[in-house]
Structure 1
Amino acid sequence: MRNQWYGDGRDLIKWGTLISIAQSQNFTKIIQVAYFRPDSQRPIIKSNNSLIEIPDSVYNHFRNINDIKRLSWFTGIDIEVIDDLYDKRKRMDYTEKMLPRITGNNGPLLVFLDPDTGLAVKNPGNKHVTVEEVATIWNALKPSDCLVLYQHSFRDTDWLEIKKAEFESAIGCNDVISYRSVKGGTDVVFFAAIKP
């Protein structure tokens, strides 16, 4: 996930979904695995003939993915953001490094995988999580923990069914629930499964 996407309309759907799942299943903690990548550059403001950089105070107010932790105050659900820098060339290192932060929690736990685009079976880039990464995290979860994956659409009318089947295959579980908005942000879905 990139800072520039934090707080957009899809975040309302994303966190509405996650909090609803957590409250309905009595989860007391959500861990967001952000697959964080810094923004490539900040916007620049031009004034007559001078250029003005966005001040750190303004940028950090609007582009801080850790700000979501404030939601804990209103929901009573502990939210942890794993915001370590993500690089596709070190995928499994990243996964192995964050696993203790997941397995070190007492249950039941909701783990949210939040790559920019979702699951990629072929040619995964920095915007994707792989089948192997999903399987590794799923296998590390305790019974009654929940795994949720963010998935963006792609150019296929059956994209939702295709990605759901890939997620089910990655975790070896056909008991996956899809969550998506009926108004606005219909190009994203969240796949959720509770580990038996």
Structure 2
Amino acid sequence: MNAKYFGDTKDLFKYDLITSLIKGFKGGIDRVVIVPMLTKYDPDFKGNPGCRNTDLIACFRRLRRTEEVDHYYDELKSYIKELKTDINKKKVRIRIEKSEIFSKQKRDPYFQSIYENFPESALIFIDPDTGIKEKNVTEKHLAFSELKTFYEYLDNESILMVYQHYQRRKPPAPDEPKRKFNEVVTLIGATPIIIADNSVMFLFLTKNQKLYDTLTRILRNYARVEQAAARNKNRERSIDVIVSA
């Protein structure tokens, strides 16, 4: 996740989806844990007037990294906590695992501290800048080996959710969600659920077949409602849900 994209359309999709899961499980999920994987804020200042003012750019970066990040997650916490009314619970708990910048040098201790205090009975959302990758992993990616470790730590009452951006192709490859599905089955040894539009997808893993079935129903209903809403506005929106056969 990069601070310059806070509040964009992809952000709206990811947290609307989390909202729908909390409501859809009707109190069965009342704990959300977010693993941000925040990458360094790098505004597109190249080639325009002022781009040589490195002190000013550094000032903007500090503002974006501290004030905006804190405000962003504080607002999200408040929003998600208020969902308690929709599910008739006394509270919805939310924890932001990390708020510092994620980097290649920090990744091992970053994840190790999460493994040592691994959340239980929770929806755990991992939010890398780009998604999951097997080779040439950078700070923008979650490695498949790390995803596998997260899955191994997962208890029987939890769900793992991971953000995945499409590869930068024009037009996007329509078979990309299915290929990512097959990669997870091969490299993790578990069957995911994937919901995808034409630009981003979200991958879900759980060890509990009952949770898997309920999650499938909620995601399919979400896709159906969103596509109907798009048609009512004379827009086409394709949302696919990929599950085990």
Q: Tell me how far apart the structure 1 counterparts of residues 144 and 79 of structure 2 sit (CA, whole Å).
A: 30
Report whether the alignment pairs 1:72 with 2:74: no
Between Structure 1 and Structure 2, the one with more helix by share is 2
Distance 1:42 1:102, change over 3 A: farther
Report whether the alignment pairs 1:102 with 2:114: no
Q: CA deviation at 1:63?
A: 7.5
* CA shift digits 1:73-110 (9 cap, x unpaired): 3212322112243212443322111223434x4x2x11
What is the correspondence of 1:135-154 to structure 2 with a 5 Å cutoff?
135-154=148-167
Matched residues, number = 183
Q: Give the AA of the match of 2:201.
A: V
Q: CA deviation at 1:152?
A: 0.5
Name the SS for the 1:40 alignment partner: coil
Are 2:19 and 2:80, in contact at CA under 8 Å, matched by a contact in 1?
A: no
Distance 1:78 1:98, change over 3 A: same
Segments of 5+ residues of structure 1 without an aligned counterpart are none
Which stretch of structure 1 is more off in the superposition, 94-103 or 186-195? 94-103
- Whose radius of gyration is greater, 1 or 2? 2
Segments of 5+ residues of structure 2 without an aligned counterpart are 51-55, 85-91, 209-245
TM-score (structure 1 length as normaliser): 0.79
Q: Give the AA of the match of 1:16.
A: D
What is the correspondence of 1:10-21 to structure 2 with a 5 Å cutoff?
10-21=10-21
Between Structure 1 and Structure 2, the one with more strand by share is 1
Q: CA deviation at 1:56?
A: 4.4
TM-score (structure 2 length as normaliser): 0.65
Which residue pairs with 1:86 in the alignment? 102
Q: CA deviation at 1:147?
A: 0.6
Q: Give the AA of the match of 1:3.
A: A
Distance 1:38 1:65, change over 3 A: farther
Q: CA RMSD in A?
A: 2.9
Which of 202, 206, 227 in structure 2 is aligned with 1:194? 206
Q: Tell me how far apart the structure 2 counterparts of residues 5 and 34 of structure 1 sit (CA, whole Å).
A: 13
Q: Tell me how far apart the structure 2 counterparts of residues 100 and 2 of structure 1 sit (CA, whole Å).
A: 26
